[in-house]
Amino acid sequence: GRQIRKYDDKVIDHYENPRNVGSLNKNDKNVGTGLVGAPACGDVMKLQIRVDENGEIIESAFKTFGCGSAIASSSLATEWVKGRNVNDATKIKNSDIAKELKLPPVKLHCSMLAEDAIKAAVKDLKTKQDTFAPSS
Ligand code: FES
Ligand code: FES
């Protein structure tokens, strides 16, 4: 019979082989943690970044309790933020993620979660780096 393809191969790939699953030490002053939830469905995404002294993201990790599209979106987000300056990372748009993964309209909020998580992680990092700034 004819196969009904609901999801793009990229979603399935990121869902079955998610990149950078795990946690970074949230007490590290070079680590920013973003924890966001989607009110629509109750899914939760944690995305973390670790920067070097120049503010370049050298590591990223995520844990997502949610649907396949949310997992794929966060996996892709961790790949995209790596190597970027924190300020560039916040320019990643949910529409770019949705386009890359060819998400259907009903799943757009899943990629929104990834955009929000990146922004939250950067915000957390900036708050911490102020806190930890040398008081010379
Ligand atoms: Fe069920 Fe997202 S709505 S996992
Ligand atoms: Fe809610 Fe995907 S994050 S359905």
Question: Which residues partner with 31 through β-bridges?
Answer: 50
Residues whose CB falls within 8 Å of the CB of residue 65, separated by 6 or more in sequence, listed in order? 43, 44, 45
Q: Could you tell me if residue 72 is inside a domain?
A: yes
pLDDT averaged per 10 residues, the chain (length 136): 70 92 96 92 95 96 94 97 96 97 94 97 93 55
Question: In the prediction, which pLDDT does 134 show?
Answer: 55
Q: Could you tell me if residue 13 is inside a domain?
A: yes
The total of structural domains in the chain comes to: 1
44-51 sheet: strands from edge to edge? 31-37, 44-51, 57-65
Q: Which atom of ligand 2 is nearest to the CA of 67?
A: 2
CA-based max dimension of the chain: 71
CA 37 from centre of chain = 12
Is residue 41 flagged as an active site residue? Answer: yes
Say which of 36, 61, 71, 110 is annotated catalytic.
110
Please give the angle made by the CA atoms of 26, 58 and 30, to the nearest 5 degrees: 35
Question: In the prediction, which pLDDT does 89 show?
Answer: 97
Cβ pair 113, 38 in contact under 8 A: yes
Question: In the prediction, which pLDDT does 132 show?
Answer: 56
Q: Could you tell me if residue 116 is inside a domain?
A: yes
Pocket residues for ligand 1 (CB within 6 Å)? Answer: 41, 43, 66-67
Question: In the prediction, which pLDDT does 13 show?
Answer: 92
Question: In the prediction, which pLDDT does 76 show?
Answer: 97
Which of 92, 77, 47, 89 has the alpha carbon at shortest distance from 65? 47
Q: Could you tell me if residue 136 is inside a domain?
A: no
Task: Retrieve residue 136's tokens.
Answer: 């010379």
Which of 67, 65, 74, 57 has the alpha carbon at shortest distance from 18? 74
Nearest-CA residue for atom 2 of ligand 1 = 67
Q: Could you tell me if residue 114 is inside a domain?
A: yes
Range of the domain at 15: 9-129
- Could you tell which of 41, 47, 101 is best to mutate to test the pocket of ligand 2, judged by most ligand atoms within 8 Å of the CB? 41
Question: In the prediction, which pLDDT does 133 show?
Answer: 55
Its pTM stands at 0.88
Is residue 67 flagged as an active site residue? Answer: no
The 3 state secondary structure assigned to 11-78 is HHHHHHCCCCECCCCCCCCCEEEEEEECCCCCCEEEEEEEECCCCEEEEEEEEEECCHHHHHHHHHHH
CATH number of 38's domain: 3.90.1010.10
135 CA → ligand 2 middle, Å:
43
Q: Could you tell me if residue 135 is inside a domain?
A: no
